[in-house]
Structure 1
Amino acid sequence: MTDAAPELQIAEEDALRADLYDFLSALLSGPPDKSMLSRAAGLSGDDSALGQAVATMARIARATNEKAVEREFNALFIGLSRGELMPYASYYLTGFLNEKPLAALRGDMAALRITRAPNVYEPEDNIASLLEMMAGMIRGRFGDPVPVARQKDFFFKHIAPWAEHFFSDLEVAQNSVLYAPVGTVGKAFLDIETQAFRMGAE
């Protein structure tokens, strides 16, 4: 996605949310480089479900390397004809790519002034792009920070109906090693977001 405006100062809690959306998006948009692996390896977690998943991911990140993770990413998401998983809303919701969920997303992206970067060729309903969009709405990358009620609408329309299923598949995918706890982190974070939106964004 392209940034349409500089980021603005936001509440610390929202900055942490945006950081995790951005972090997951980066891990799912391409194989992590040495810097990204080091960042993952340096994380620590608490006793919560999310914290335990983060700690597991960090432990595996410390024990792996760029080449191994690149092979893992390619097996999961690229493959010779296709990867083990298809990380697209349209595919999870309809069984096919480029279907109605993508068209609906493009309409909402236009309303939010979100545009696809010129060097990005993946359909916009890729999980990495959707997570990046959430971070951008929180941080005000597309104008003013998007109100929580509108974040909630976007989340429940474009992410909640399928992303937990995707992250569950990622946890148990045959080729998942580092990405197994990434799936757990994603599931735990989505659960937190779902509960927070339901409680506070009526």
Structure 2
Amino acid sequence: MASARPDRNQHAIAEEDRLRADFYNFLGLLLAAPPSELTLKQTAALLGDDTELGQAIRSLARVAKVTKPEAAEREFNALFIGVGRGELLPYASYYLTGFLNEKPLAQLRTDMAVRGITRAPNVFEPEDNIASLMEMMAGMITGRFGQPAPLEDQKTFWSRHIGPWAGHFFSDLEAAENSVLYASVGTAGRVFMEIEREGFRLSAE
């Protein structure tokens, strides 16, 4: 996961941006580790409207309601850890080049340094994993790494490090053989990435 210098200031951001950051954090939480019983209960309590994302959230809530922590852990391990490797490799370098620890990771580390983002001391996997990138976006929106990033800066970071591959990853997660709970996570993530892409596109007009 990403970390930053302590910043106790509560930055004032628009409610829409707060909701975006919350959803990035939510995806990061589910993709970083198997969900706890509390996380499953909180997910089961989510409500969604009739939008495509709202429907995906409702579906995720229904699956979370009948998922036990032990089953979620087995699913997470099969998808992302496995014996040697999981069914999916959730890293930008792998999706963009076919190999781990390639140029996309080096580019990300450069952009992280510019923004004062560092890897948390207890995390040892490459920073270009999907969970960390979701957390980084949330932190940029809320100002966790200093001041809230302007929308143009968010767009630049997203377009370099998330947009080119995250939608493909979430689609793969939807269709993965071992996905049950995480199939719904994949749907919600894919739809959210589409919303973000369109939002950034409209901001440029």
- TM bracket (short chain): over 0.9
Question: Gaps (5+ residues) in structure 2?
Answer: none
Q: Deviations over 1:120-154 (max 9, x none)?
A: 10100000000100000001000000110000000
Q: Deviations over 1:96-137 (max 9, x none)?
A: 000000000000000111000110101000000001000000
Q: What TM-score do you get using the length of structure 1 for normalisation?
A: 0.98
1:117 and 2:117 aligned? no
Q: Which among 94, 99, 102 is matched to residue 102 of structure 2?
A: 99
Using the alignment, how far apart are the partners of 2:50 and 2:12 within structure 1?
A: 30
Check the 8 A contact 1:75/1:175 in 2, yes or no: yes
Q: Deviations over 1:151-187 (max 9, x none)?
A: 0000011001001000000001000000001000001
Using the alignment, how far apart are the partners of 1:87 and 1:14 within structure 2?
A: 25
Q: Deviations over 1:51-108 (max 9, x none)?
A: 1110010000001110000000000000011000000000000010000000000000
Q: Matches of residues 40-189 of structure 1 in structure 2 within 5 Å?
A: 40-189=43-192
Q: Note the C-alpha offset of 1:201.
A: 4.1
- Give 4+ residue runs of structure 1 displaced > 6 Å after superposition: none
**Aligned residue identity for 1:86:** L
The equivalent residue for 2:29 is 26
Using the alignment, how far apart are the partners of 2:202 and 2:51 within structure 1?
A: 19
**Aligned residue identity for 2:136:** M
Check the 8 A contact 2:46/2:61 in 1, yes or no: yes
Check the 8 A contact 2:4/2:116 in 1, yes or no: no
Identity of aligned residues (%): 64
Q: Note the C-alpha offset of 1:3.
A: 2.9
The equivalent residue for 1:2 is 3
Using the alignment, how far apart are the partners of 2:83 and 2:90 within structure 1?
A: 16
Using the alignment, how far apart are the partners of 1:161 and 1:38 within structure 2?
A: 32
CA-based RMSD: 0.9
**Aligned residue identity for 1:96:** F
The number of residue pairs the alignment matches comes to: 202
Q: Deviations over 1:40-59 (max 9, x none)?
A: 10001111111111001000
